[in-house]
Structure 1
């Protein structure tokens, strides 16, 4: 990924390159925000009554990657990584047994699976969401994923600042 002097994805490129670079930038931003923290810090809740944590956000994004790229685009009936119909927020709701190493490894695997699912497809290629048959283009999925990461990266920035005062990662 080519970056500008400000560290953002390049200013010039075709639509596919721009979308993929911005999605990669958002993924890397979440990793940077979490970098250097220990297990306890990654599991530290933002502020009561919220149970939102950095590890919970990473696990949630693993679920989102899996849903849009494997289930919808790839038309694969894979089950949720963490969540289920009975526990849709399980990715965010951590237990003592949940470990950061596993969460980050799962997230990275889902990113690789997402890249593989999108490879060779055109932005105008469409797929249908299994639960309701609604149609989506790969372009829409990319834009949605950029939006999803950007929103949660804002949450992650605030959580990180609360943990150790670090901002602007």
Structure 2
């Protein structure tokens, strides 16, 4: 079974960068929780009409974070569409390794954002990516960070649907289990065989 993923870092503050990183981390924690209690094989299941799996979503979001962190550092190497499409495929990587890789990607992203001169620092738009806008030259670090929150939240929602289709486990039950919440009459932490 999947090891217990780390809980989210408690990032609350008055600094805008810390607050935005805190929201990104909340979405990461929800996405990671979708893996909680799944075997390697279960994590690679695609039980809905899409081809998405929880493991594939984790792998994809790690790749996305690395790509955007590279853009902030101006290390973009051009668009590799095959690699982007393959980032959704979970392969045979054990879930523990996927979680560890995602954690490393998150730390790299956080470090890049914290090292940036400021949230208004420009991030050049690579013109080789066909879905990127051609009418602007640069985003800002703030825009990239908000986009990462959006992207991670979207895929956390996908993971919720995939996971609930696998065994009925819901996000709040999984978060309660991962974070050790006491049963309270409203939320019962997930246990194998106990999902709603």
Fold conserved (TM > 0.5)?
A: yes
Whole-Å Cα distance in 1 between the matches of residues 90 and 112 of structure 2?
29
Equivalent position of 1:149 in the other structure: 152
Segments of 5+ residues of structure 2 without an aligned counterpart are: 1-8, 129-135, 176-196
Equivalent position of 2:108 in the other structure: 113
Equivalent position of 1:53 in the other structure: 53
Whole-Å Cα distance in 2 between the matches of residues 57 and 79 of structure 1?
22
Q: Given the alignment, which residue of 104, 108, 117 partners 2:99?
A: 104
Larger-gyration structure (1/2): 2
SS of the residue aligned with 1:127?
Answer: strand
Q: 1:77 to 1:54 in 2, by over 3 A?
A: same
SS of the residue aligned with 2:85?
Answer: coil
Q: 1:29 to 1:94 in 2, by over 3 A?
A: closer
Whole-Å Cα distance in 2 between the matches of residues 86 and 33 of structure 1?
26
Answer yes or no: is 1:16 the counterpart of 2:12.
no
Whole-Å Cα distance in 2 between the matches of residues 59 and 161 of structure 1?
19
Q: 1:101 to 1:129 in 2, by over 3 A?
A: farther
Equivalent position of 1:138 in the other structure: 141
What root-mean-square deviation, in Å, do the aligned CA atoms of Structure 1 and Structure 2 show?
2.3
Whole-Å Cα distance in 1 between the matches of residues 81 and 142 of structure 2?
28
Equivalent position of 1:123 in the other structure: 119
8 Å Cα contact 2:78/2:126 also seen in 1: no
131-140 or 106-115, which deviates more: 131-140
SS of the residue aligned with 2:123?
Answer: strand
Whole-Å Cα distance in 2 between the matches of residues 54 and 94 of structure 1?
8
Equivalent position of 2:73 in the other structure: 74
Equivalent position of 1:43 in the other structure: 44
Equivalent position of 2:81 in the other structure: 85
SS of the residue aligned with 2:84?
Answer: coil
8 Å Cα contact 2:34/2:160 also seen in 1: yes
Q: 1:14 to 1:127 in 2, by over 3 A?
A: same
Q: Given the alignment, which residue of 155, 160, 163 partners 1:160?
A: 163
Q: 1:42 to 1:134 in 2, by over 3 A?
A: farther
1:78 shift after superposition = 5.9
Q: 1:20 to 1:87 in 2, by over 3 A?
A: closer
Whole-Å Cα distance in 1 between the matches of residues 159 and 93 of structure 2?
19
